[in-house]
């Protein structure tokens, strides 16, 4: 049975479904010499090109999937390439044996912490999609302590340029003076969302570290290091988005 091109390429680890849909809209994917369309299906044997380069997909083979977390330092970006030639996380990671790493969400250049990566495009797509409401937890260092009124505002919701944003949970986590730490949790990943929420309060964020994505935590991993996920962590990720683990 023919499957949609987004699903086939995502399962092969070519990219997440969201990335593949963007490539199709940009005209970067060709099937047998013709621009791919969002409704196209692959039955096997088609010649697929991405940016003029062949993409190999074997529909009948059950590909091994790979999973890891990486402690991203400040100064690295999550894109595969950068016109400014800044260092990317993919230069630091050994590629999987099959497919390629897909970053589950992004962290901006100044944000540190947990990046979840997999070669399973369908899993990555669901983990990022807001309908699955996967919680992300961050350690945030602020230049000053929040008042009760400010805490109430960011729990209730503040207006950003792309809609209302709020934290699911906020709690103080130590510090003193001009260096107060908080733990915040939210279930979406809009661009610079946490920093923008605190900007509405005129409180600068001096440090931002992602410490958890869904059931996977940073733990005692050191900055710049990576590790494979355990079988328990992998199973918990698939359970969180309603998929059967391989």
How far apart, in whole angstroms, are the C-alpha atoms of residue 124 and residue 99?
A: 13
- Do 145 and 199 fall within a single domain? yes
CATH number, position 19: 3.10.290.10
Quote the pLDDT of residue 196: 93
- Higher pLDDT residue, 4 or 214? 214
Q: Which of 32, 51, 82, 108 is catalytic?
A: 108
Let me know: does 179 contact 141? Beta carbons within 8 Å. yes
- Do 109 and 140 fall within a single domain? no
Quote the pLDDT of residue 223: 96
Residue 58: pLDDT band by 50, 70, 90 thresholds? Answer: low
CATH number, position 161: 3.30.2350.10
127-141 residue pLDDT tens? 999 999 999 999 999
Conformation bin of residue 49: beta by default, left when phi > 0, alpha when psi is -120 to 50? beta
- 108 is a catalytic site residue: yes
- Do 84 and 149 fall within a single domain? no
48 three-state secondary structure: strand
**223 φ/ψ angles, rounded to the nearest 5 degrees:** -55, 130
Residue 32: pLDDT band by 50, 70, 90 thresholds? Answer: confident
**Own/partner pairs for 189-192, CB < 8 Å, 24+ apart?**
189/105, 189/106, 189/128, 189/136, 190/160, 190/162, 190/165, 191/108, 192/108
- Do 162 and 96 fall within a single domain? no
The number of folded domains in the chain is 3
How far apart, in whole angstroms, are the C-alpha atoms of residue 195 and residue 37?
A: 37
| Stretch 95-100: mean pLDDT | 84
- Do 71 and 126 fall within a single domain? yes
pTM for the structure as a whole: 0.78
What residue numbers bound the domain in which 157 lies? 135-213
| Stretch 195-208: mean pLDDT | 93
Alpha-carbon distance values, 221 to 67, 100, 102 (Å): 15, 22, 20
Q: Does 61 fall in a domain?
A: no
Quote the pLDDT of residue 59: 57
DSSP secondary structure of 138-178: EEEEESSPPPHHHHHHHHH-EEETTEEE--SEEEEEEEETT
Let me know: does 21 contact 38? Beta carbons within 8 Å. yes
134 three-state secondary structure: coil
Q: Does 246 fall in a domain?
A: no
């Amino acid at each position: 049975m023919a499957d949609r091109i987004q699903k086939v390429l995502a399962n092969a680890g070519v990219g997440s479904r969201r990335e593949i849909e963007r490539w199709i809209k940009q005209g970067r994917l060709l099937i047998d010499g013709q621009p791919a369309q969002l409704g196209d299906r692959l039955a096997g044997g088609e010649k697929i090109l991405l940016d003029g380069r062949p993409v190999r997909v074997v529909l009948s083979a059950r590909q091994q999937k790979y999973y890891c977390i990486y402690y991203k330092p400040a100064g690295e970006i999550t894109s595969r390439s950068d016109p400014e030639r800044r260092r990317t996380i993919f230069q630091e990671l050994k590629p999987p044996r099959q497919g390629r790493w897909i970053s589950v969400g992004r962290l901006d250049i100044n944000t540190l912490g947990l990046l979840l990566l997999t070669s399973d495009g369908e899993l990555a797509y669901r983990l990022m999609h807001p309908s699955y409401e996967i919680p992300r937890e961050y350690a945030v260092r602020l230049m000053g302590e929040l008042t009760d009124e400010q805490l109430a505002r960011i729990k209730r919701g503040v207006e950003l340029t792309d809609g209302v944003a709020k934290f699911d949970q906020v709690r103080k986590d130590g510090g003193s003076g001009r260096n107060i730490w908080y733990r915040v949790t939210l279930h979406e990943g809009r661009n610079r969302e946490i920093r923008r929420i605190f900007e509405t309060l005129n409180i600068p964020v001096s440090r931002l570290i992602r410490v958890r994505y869904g059931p996977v935590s940073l733990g005692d991993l050191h900055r710049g290091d990576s590790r494979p996920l355990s079988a328990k962590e992998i199973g918990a990720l698939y359970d969180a988005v309603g998929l059967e683990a391989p």
